[in-house]
Amino acid sequence: MKQGHLINKINRLIPVAKAVPMEEWNGEDVGIWFRGSEYLHGDFLVFNGYNPHPELDKILEEAGWMWEPHDMGTLMAYPNY
């Protein structure tokens, strides 16, 4: 799935993830940064100590993308090729 479509899908299904292009993090043009990854939103934690929420993990896997931690509180995603 193309990056823009995946970002839209994630933000529609999991708005607290606040998915944006990697470009907003470090200027790279490929990848997704989850700006909401280090915050607890009600009972929904997007990313916790190197494990994304199972719903987000499923969306990424089905789209052919993989997640990768940048650090304990920051989650990124990249195409799986």
Instruction: Note whether 34 and 47 are within 8 A (CB).
Output: yes
Q: Where are the domains of the chain?
A: 3-79
- pLDDT, tens digit, 9 for 90 and up, residues 26-43: 888 899 999 877 666 666
User: Does the global pTM surpass 0.75?
Assistant: yes
Question: What is the pLDDT of the chain when averaged over all its residues?
Answer: 87
Q: What is the pLDDT of residue 49?
A: 65
**15 to each of 2, 43, 57, 59, 81, how far by Cα in Å?**
19, 14, 15, 13, 26
Check whether 53 has a pLDDT greater than 90. Answer: no
* CA neighbor of 46 nearest in space, from 79, 80, 10: 10
